[in-house]
Chains A and B, each alone.
Chain A
């Protein structure tokens, strides 16, 4: 390390003038690129706050369309995150620890929703669970219909958000040293006890940040929801759908909803940063 730095310094000395002069325009170029990019990302977000007065914001918060969307979004995103965690945790643990035929296929399939366009996810869900869908037609026989209900909202969110949790959970489980699990087994812990008392607690921060990111993705879900669940206020109109709907009439309501989502997004990033920094 020291010798390389020494060599670098010598190089700088030898080519000093040329290198420094040669680097100045490059540094400037990178600075300009960075500044433009930051502006491009922050300006639109800042514009949201500049386009609405605090009074109008607070007034909009009382509107039923905003309140309905807010509560529906929070409830459905929480439920879908819980479902994702419930199903995703064992799956991620098994895939991190056991080798079985077809594991690579399972991994690919769980990742699929990340690359699938949401509109495709929406129509695919409709074809599966719609009234005439592959599964939906039998459910319809029992008087159960899923499409265009709150259940459909949750299903769409689970579909698009699950890979974010499962990937993170698997990586966190893989990062747990197997030695602890082996030690726990020799001390008398059954495989389930090893998972619950050793592996999950040691992977905890990764699991929490995975769940939070998954929650954020569920909260932002638009395409699959509008196609599979429709856009009914109070039942399937989540915040992104409400933004889309109110934008055409009540712009203040749309902006207020957007601001709430921005605040939640920032909170998510902050929480993930704090959680992943603490504990290993």
Chain B
């Protein structure tokens, strides 16, 4: 269970959001470009500190301005997938996936075993020794997901997870992604511009406008709000 209340002054407006996501639940975050969707993910994963607020994940306080708690990003155990995937360009696929385990000083044989298992589960074994610069969009997405999931995160944050994936491969990747999220059984937040992502991945849909949550409900409920300009074009287009 993730619960977030966080505020931060951005350039054009004050971002102020309150969200909660249950175990095994996927929340989809939609909104215009610049509405603060990616910033919300950065606040949760600890890349950016909120000005004030409180973030708790599975009974653990990650941030609290009142209690002066700010768990650093590296200790939050949150899997954060960036829009461009941010695969480390100087490493191979398996080195990328092993990165988090190495940082945790897991013994080498165990790292090799765990990474091999993860790569096999993600159908990446053939690419283990390939430099990440050679991968397609869909392969990059899987490597980024494998790199995060191998650490058994307590929360998954996905920023436009399918944006860099080939159009033709998107449907299959979406289905695969949904299964992975379900199997992980942890709360998940997905930022997307894509209606199909919202419908197929989301248990709940949140609409963000200028840093505020203006709608929060099941995808059907939120997409029914045709009086909202963004929803009208999002659901219509």
- Chain A positions within 8 Å of B, measured between CB atoms, are 177, 179-180, 182-190, 193, 197-198, 201-202, 204, 279-280
In the complex, B76 has a CB within 8 A of chain A: yes
Tell me the number of A-to-B contacts counted with CB atoms below 8 Å: 66
Contact (Cβ within 8 A) B74 A190: yes
Contacts of B74 on A, CB cut-off 8 Å? 185-190, 193
Whether A201 contacts B90 in the complex (CB less than 8 A), given A183-B80, A186-B78, comes out as: yes
Indicate if the CB atoms of A184 and B88 lie closer than 8 Å. yes
The distance in angstroms between the C-alpha atoms of A126 and B193, with both chains bound, is 66
Q: Is the interface of A mostly helix, strand, loop or mixed?
A: helix
A202-B99 CB under 8 A given contacts A186-B46, A186-B78: no
CB–CB A193/B103 < 8 A: yes
Judging by beta carbons under 8 Å apart, are A179 and B86 in contact?
Answer: yes
Does B217 lie at the interface of the complex (its beta carbon under 8 Å from any beta carbon of A)? no
Q: Is the CB of A187 within 8 A of B151?
A: yes
B73 at the interface (CB under 8 A from A): yes
The 4 closest A-B pairs by CB, nearest first: A183-B86, A187-B100, A185-B73, A186-B80
Interface residues on B, range: 20 to 34
B34 at the interface (CB under 8 A from A): no
Partner of B47, one of A180, A182, A197, A280: A182
Tell whether B224 is near chain A: CB-to-CB under 8 Å. no
B47 with A185: CB separation less than 8 A: yes
A-B contact pairs, 28 of them (CB 8 A): A179-B84, A180-B88, A182-B42, A182-B47, A182-B73, A182-B82, A182-B86, A183-B80, A184-B88, A184-B99, A185-B46, A185-B72, A186-B45, A186-B46, A186-B78, A186-B79, A186-B80, A187-B74, A187-B99, A187-B147, A188-B74, A188-B100, A188-B104, A189-B103, A193-B74, A193-B103, A197-B103, A204-B90
